[in-house]
Chain A
Amino acid sequence: MDLFILGALNGLQLGMLVFLLAAGFTLIFGLMNILNLAHGAFYTLGAYVGYLTMKLTGSFWLALMVGPAALFVFGTLLQLCVLQPLSEKGRSSHLDLALLTFGLLYATASTVDVVFGSSLQTIKLPPVLDGSMSLFGVMSYPKYRVFIIGLGLLCALGIWAVLRKTLIGATIRAGVDDREMIISMGVNIRWTFAMVFGAGAALAGLAGVVAAPVLGIYAHMGITIIVITFVVVVIGGLGNVEGSFYSALTVGMVDSLVQTYIPQIDLFAVYILLIAIMIVKPAGLFAKQVRAA
């Protein structure tokens, strides 16, 4: 039973981490129709910005803030200065932009490799988060993983509140549903696009910093995690943030429990899950009911 709870908690933690990536990824796709493969690059860059901040100032909390902030600026500029002009020039077919961002992912990984070397780095935890705590009075569990779960839930709640309870959230949801309509109603969608892109990048950067103490920092970290993000996003239904939350939890649990109980298949269990779901429901498990017009 302890083993199961431990596996489930690890799954929850992995799910939260992937959700931070998947939320931005799925929203960017839903709104701008960009399959943003560079999301993995944002994750890597966030981790390295956090690592540098940590090295210069020694403060984990500062690293946790600077990482996402830097990526917000980077993401916004990327959308405003590169992707938006390209898609306005008629290069909006998502293959083109997907490949461009694939190039960016590649270039980032190799640049980081050259600048920081290929050795594994990490971010040291502050004393508050270091060590273990006892859970339910019976078992001990690393404090930092509890922190990740809490932070993930907080972010999920924040994203939900912004999307459901604010005007900008309403604009974004309307944009996902029907982009042309919202433009014709006089909303300057460019800024919404740039902000959402920036926010998605910031979340990915946050995920990078948060993951660093657990998974380590290396040049190809983004390439490794982006694939599992795809799985989450597809199962959740492309463009559906709430779906990707449930799907991140499902994938995290499956991955972690398989690792605990059937380690022989741990590398591909989630892909089998995805393929099974795609056979039954090609549009994703949590796809919204679309009314056929």
Chain B
Amino acid sequence: MKLNRKSVWACVALAVALVFPLVLGGFTVTLATEILIFGIFVSGVNLLLGYTGLVPLGNAMFLGMGAYGIGVFANLLGWSLWFAIPATLLTVLVLATVIGIVCTRTRDVEFLLITLAFGQMFYGAAIKTKATGGSDGLPGIARPDFSLINLNVVADTGFYYFVLAVAVAMLFLFWRLIHSPFGSVLVGIRENEKRMISMSYAVSYYKTGAFVIAALYAAVAGILSAQHSHFVSPEIMNWQIGGEAVLMVIIGGRRYVLGGILGAAIFIVVKYGLSRLTQDYLIFFGLFFMLCVAFLKDGIIGLYVGLRQRVRA
């Protein structure tokens, strides 16, 4: 078997991810868990943004649906987590299908704005719903029980490994998806939708499909996020979260499978690093991503690939 450069990089990254909690521990584990959770969410955004050519600004609503779903089914209705998680995903699947059918009728700026409107609607609904604590949110979200395989996820390190496993599985699925015929159709829609239509592809099904898959990625991230902080509040659906997700994809590199998670990592590490350096970090943070958008068209990965091609030539 020929080991190409990409798989070597992936193995190195995975090895680092597996080993480092044993060495560093403490707060870095929390940070890494956050990066992985956002990585899952942002990969879904990347499917729409980088591969289908649709810009979703409201995808944080599905993050919120996942988080609230687990809160409602497990905490309010008292279901076991092993029923609550599928029930949450199923609910998101149904809702995302309906929302997706409406949203994918539009494109470009209208798509961006209508997803934002849906996001704001659910954000408003979450604030107004008394049963889930209104704007105070819902505390006491439980983590799953893995005592059968001797993994203690109540501890942060254990939870990190659980999230890592989920993230690796989701990214592998993402990679398979991109290289499937379905993924090729999506890229075709991005490049020239009219041609895809005239080649008799039912593009609206594919676009809705991509929308639903992105929503499910967000929902999985939402469930993990609620379990990570033991808490869910409407702020998880704030439209700025959706905007940040788009920025993460841009920073990491749209059109690359690992662009989403890399962007999330850079975004979170820079934000944390700046906040350690100076109290006024938010100023530099804003400048940082204006520079990223202005100068990195294909993100960090695009920059690396471009440099390597230049070195070879």
Residues facing B in A70-92 (CB within 8 A) are 86, 91
In the bound complex, how far is the Cα of B122 from the Cα of A110, in angstroms? Answer: 26
**B116 is an interface residue with CB less than 8 A from chain A:** yes
Partner of B121, one of A94, A104, A271: A271
Given the contacts A100-B294, A271-B120, A271-B124, A279 and B102 also touching, CB distance less than 8 Å? yes
Please, which residue of chain B has its CB at the minimum distance from the CB of A99? B293
Q: What per-residue 1/0 map shows which CB atoms of B109-131 lie under 8 Å from chain A?
A: 11011101110111111011000
> Would you call B240 and A223 a contact (CB within 8 A)?
yes
**B78 is an interface residue with CB less than 8 A from chain A:** no
In the bound complex, how far is the Cα of B56 from the Cα of A116, in angstroms? Answer: 33
Partner of A227, one of B114, B239, B246: B239
Partner of B128, one of A100, A110, A264: A264
> Would you call A86 and B102 a contact (CB within 8 A)?
no
> Would you call B117 and A275 a contact (CB within 8 A)?
yes
**A274 is an interface residue with CB less than 8 A from chain B:** yes
In the bound complex, how far is the Cα of B250 from the Cα of A47, in angstroms? Answer: 31
**A108 is an interface residue with CB less than 8 A from chain B:** yes
Partner of B114, one of A95, A108, A109, A278: A278
Rounded to whole Å, the gap between the CB of A33 and the closest CB of chain B is 9
Given the contacts A234-B113, A238-B109, A265 and B293 also touching, CB distance less than 8 Å? no
**A282 is an interface residue with CB less than 8 A from chain B:** yes
List, in ascending order, chain B residues with CB within 8 A of A227's CB. Answer: 116, 120, 239
List, in ascending order, chain A residues with CB within 8 A of B297's CB. Answer: 91, 96
Size class of the A contact interface (CB-based, 8 Å): 35 or more
Residues facing B in A81-133 (CB within 8 A) are 86, 91, 94-96, 98-100, 102-104, 106-111, 113-114
Rounded to whole Å, the gap between the CB of B184 and the closest CB of chain A is 22
Q: What per-residue 1/0 map shows which CB atoms of A134-172 lie under 8 Å from chain B?
A: 000000000000000000000000000000000000000
Given the contacts A275-B118, A278-B102, A111 and B283 also touching, CB distance less than 8 Å? yes
Q: What per-residue 1/0 map shows which CB atoms of B274-313 lie under 8 Å from chain A?
A: 0000011011011101100110010000000000000000
List, in ascending order, chain A residues with CB within 8 A of B55's CB. Answer: 95, 98
**A261 is an interface residue with CB less than 8 A from chain B:** no
**A4 is an interface residue with CB less than 8 A from chain B:** no
Rounded to whole Å, the gap between the CB of A45 and the closest CB of chain B is 14
**A29 is an interface residue with CB less than 8 A from chain B:** yes
> Would you call B282 and A113 a contact (CB within 8 A)?
yes
List, in ascending order, chain A residues with CB within 8 A of B114's CB. Answer: 234, 274-275, 278
Given the contacts A103-B293, A264-B128, A267-B124, A275 and B102 also touching, CB distance less than 8 Å? yes
> Would you call A110 and B118 a contact (CB within 8 A)?
no
In the bound complex, how far is the Cα of B113 from the Cα of A35, in angstroms? Answer: 10
**A230 is an interface residue with CB less than 8 A from chain B:** yes
Rounded to whole Å, the gap between the CB of A109 and the closest CB of chain B is 8
| Interface core residue of A98, A264, A265 (most chain B CB under 10 Å) | A98
> Would you call B289 and A106 a contact (CB within 8 A)?
yes
List, in ascending order, chain A residues with CB within 8 A of B239's CB. Answer: 227
> Would you call A100 and B117 a contact (CB within 8 A)?
no
Given the contacts A227-B116, A264-B128, A234 and B290 also touching, CB distance less than 8 Å? no
Partner of A107, one of B112, B122, B287: B287
In the bound complex, how far is the Cα of B102 from the Cα of A275, in angstroms? Answer: 8
List, in ascending order, chain A residues with CB within 8 A of B127's CB. Answer: 267
List, in ascending order, chain B residues with CB within 8 A of A96's CB. Answer: 293, 297
> Would you call B282 and A271 a contact (CB within 8 A)?
no
> Would you call A94 and B108 a contact (CB within 8 A)?
yes
Q: What per-residue 1/0 map shows which CB atoms of B73-106 lie under 8 Å from chain A?
A: 0000000000000000000000000000010011
Partner of B290, one of A100, A231, A278: A100
Given A103-B290, A110-B282, A278-B105, 17 more contacts at CB 8 Å? A99-B293, A100-B294, A102-B246, A103-B286, A103-B293, A104-B290, A106-B285, A106-B286, A107-B282, A107-B285, A227-B116, A238-B110, A264-B128, A271-B118, A275-B114, A278-B106, A282-B106
Query: Using a CB–CB distance below 8 Å, which chain B residues touch chain A?
Result: 55, 102, 105-106, 108-110, 112-114, 116-118, 120-125, 127-128, 239-240, 243, 246-247, 250, 279-280, 282-283, 285-287, 289-290, 293-294, 297
For the complex of A and B, 8 pairs with smallest distance between CB atoms: A107-B286, A110-B282, A267-B124, A268-B124, A103-B290, A271-B121, A268-B121, A99-B293
